[in-house]
Structures are given as C-alpha cells and as structure tokens.
Amino acid sequence: MTSDSPNSFSLLLVDDKMENLISLQRMLEGDNRCFHLATSGNEALKTVLRNNDIGLILLDVQMPEMDGFEVARLLQLNPKTRDISIIFVTAINKEEQNVIRGFTAGAVDYLSKPLDVNVTRAKVNVFEKLYFSRQELKNALAEKDKINKQLERFTYMVAHDLKSPLAGAISLLSMISEEDCVQQSPEMKEQMGTVLSATNHLTEMISAILDYARQNDTAETTETVDINLLITDISKLLFPPPNICIVADGTLPVITAPRLKLQRIFQNLISNAIKYNDKANGLIAVGATDKGDFYEFYVKDNGPGMQQRDTERVFRLFERLDYNGKEEGSGIGLNIFKMLVEEQGGKVWAKSEPGQGSIFYFLWRKI
C-alpha cells in the first residue's frame, strides 16, 4: 500500500488470491494512487471502515466464506460506505440474473476475467475523474453552506442590534410630536409625521430582514394538512376588516407537507391581498388544481391589480410597486414566498390587470 496524500485516489482491491491482487495493482499503478489490498470479504469490510477516503472498490465475486455480492450488500447498508463505487471482477456468474443481482447489491460496473488491460485502466480512469469531481462538488457545497450560515448570522445580528436604538428614537420622536409647539404648527406637525413614518418604515424593513434571515430555520416536519382548514385558521389570525371576504374557490385538497411552510406562504399572500385591497367589497379566493406531480394553488383578489409587466419584478428582493406614491411594505414578503415554494421544487408566477385584481399562482410538489 502506498502512502496517502490529499490528492490521492484510494482503491481497494479485493480477491482471495494474493497473486491476482498484486497483478491488478501493477496494472493500475499511477501517480497519486493509493492501494489497499484485501483477501477476504471480512478484511475488505474492515479496511473500508478504517479508511474513509476509498474512492473505488474492485471486488472479486467468487470468494470463500463471504462472496462479493454479500460484501457489496453490507457496504450498501452502511450510510458511511454506500456511496463508494464498486466494480465487480468475475470469471463466472455472467448470466443476466447474476449481473442484475450485482447491480442491485450496489455494483456500478463489471469486469470479466481474464482482464483486458486497456479496458480495465480506462474504466478505473473514468471512476477516478468522477471521484474527484464529486469531491470538488461536495467541498463547494460545504463552503456555500458555511458562507450562507455566516451571512444569515451576520444579517440577524445587524438587524437585531439596529432595532433597539431605533425603538428608542421612535419613542422619543413620538413624545416630541405630542408637544404643544409641534401640534400648534402645521408645518412642524407634517414634518414630524414624515420623520415618524420614515422611522416606522425602517423598523418594518428591519423586522422583514430578521424574518428573511430566519426563514431557512423553518422546521421541515411533514404532516397531513387540510388546506381548507388551514385557510380558515389563517383568516381568523389575520382579522380581516368586515368588507373583506375570504373564500375557498372549489374543493381544496388534503396534502402531506410541512405545515409551517405552507402556512407562511398562504398567510403572506392573503395578508397582502387584504392590505392592498381598495374595493368596498373585497373578495379573496383560494383555489387549487391537481397537476399530477404538483398541486397548482392560487390566491385571487379583486384589489387594485398591477401592470402585467410588473408581475415578475414583484417577486424580487426589496421590490415594491408604488404606482401612487403611498405604498407601504418592505418588499421582502413575496421574495420569501418565492423562496419557500422553490425550495419545495415548485415555481411562482402572477397574472394581473390594473383595477381588475391579481392572481398569485404557485406549484407545490407532492410528497
């Protein structure tokens, strides 16, 4: 066995005959390759457990006590070893049923004895490249996850630390705005109202940023969710004004899903529909259509609507549509809605016309 290095490719060669192992190792020797040799199934399993960097196993099928099929099956059962690539090396058992049995046990390829040197080297070269590609991908994903967690912590800390002094400033401004000198001066009163409005908006922005930073921590526990009951519960929690009616548009399904995630999605859409509805008799309808692998949900309202060209922009982070200069909000809610849906493998879109209301759709993958 050669010594390991960070860029080495480790192979485990398993055969009950040492001369076969030596011959195979000589055939495959190359720069930065590390070899482990085992003459039995039990020895092979122990070697794998002692060395967590093995990238490929060339495994003889016919061995006494424990054959290659059993070794592969046991490796497949262990979460720590199930992803190791296995090539069966065999002089017999080439019948279709045995080949299928090998693939079922965890093999990814077969080599027939006597080994063709060029074919054997070519196949091992392919798996070596795949191994390093997979390692690079794993490292990149780990680094991405690390950076994302650092960004989430930073965002949370900054937003949290900003809220305390801002709350004090708002309290002081509110007290000043009640002073007689301010109340008796229309100009000062208007200016103070502008300042308070701006600080309150900043508070909403910070709260939204905190919500955005925390959204990845939402529990993923799945359960049976009756969408009709979920909408009823959300409607009670939001305390809509008397002129707003929230209804189910047809029959809503009962699905298996992370309830908290779905609740945030529908609560976001319904609260927006309530907040911006400008009609004397506001109507919000929730509907669903079975699309095979997905459910297509929608939340429809008869509110002010928007230009169709803005139906994509509205999902961007911090984007707000302000047609009249009076719109409030952080521009984060619909972006979180989009992220939650896409995490589930779905997608979001909207249809709207000014004055005719809006329909927000999302595809939710079935579990």
Q: Does 52 have pLDDT greater than 70? A: yes
* Residue 2: band (very low, low, confident or very high) from pLDDT cuts 50, 70, 90: very low
Classify strands 348-352 and 282-290 as parallel, antiparallel or unpaired: unpaired
Q: What is the predicted pLDDT for the residue at 105?
A: 60
| Cα–Cα distance for residue pair 142/361, rounded to 1 Å | 33
**pLDDT per position as a tens digit, 56-71:** 999 998 888 888 888 8
Q: What is the mean pLDDT of the chain?
A: 84
**pLDDT per position as a tens digit, 239-265:** 889 999 999 999 999 999 988 889 889
Q: Does 96 have pLDDT greater than 60? A: no
* Residue 1: band (very low, low, confident or very high) from pLDDT cuts 50, 70, 90: very low
281: left (phi over 0), alpha (psi -120 to 50) or beta: beta
Residue 8: partners with Cβ closer than 8 Å, 6 or more residues away:
2, 32, 33, 34, 53
For 118, the token pair is: 């060029």
| φ, ψ dihedrals at 261, nearest 5° | -65, -45
Q: What is the predicted pLDDT for the residue at 326?
A: 46
Q: What is the predicted pLDDT for the residue at 228?
A: 96
Residue 300: partners with Cβ closer than 8 Å, 6 or more residues away:
249, 284, 285, 286, 287, 357, 358, 359, 360
Cα-Cα-Cα-Cα dihedral sign, residues 204, 207, 209, 211: negative
Can you give the pTM of this predicted structure? 0.51
Chain centroid to CA 147: 15
As a residue count, the chain comes to 367
For 6, the token pair is: 């960070």
Rg (CA), the chain: 31
Q: Which of 94-103, 203-212, 260-269 shows the lowest per-residue confidence on average (mean pLDDT)?
A: 94-103
Burial of 96 (0-12, 13-18, 19+ CB in 10 A): exposed
| Cα–Cα distance for residue pair 220/234, rounded to 1 Å | 19
Residue 218: partners with Cβ closer than 8 Å, 6 or more residues away:
258, 260, 261, 264, 340
Q: What is the predicted pLDDT for the residue at 24?
A: 93
Residue 324 near residue 337, CB atoms below 8 Å = no
Q: Does 170 have pLDDT greater than 70? A: yes
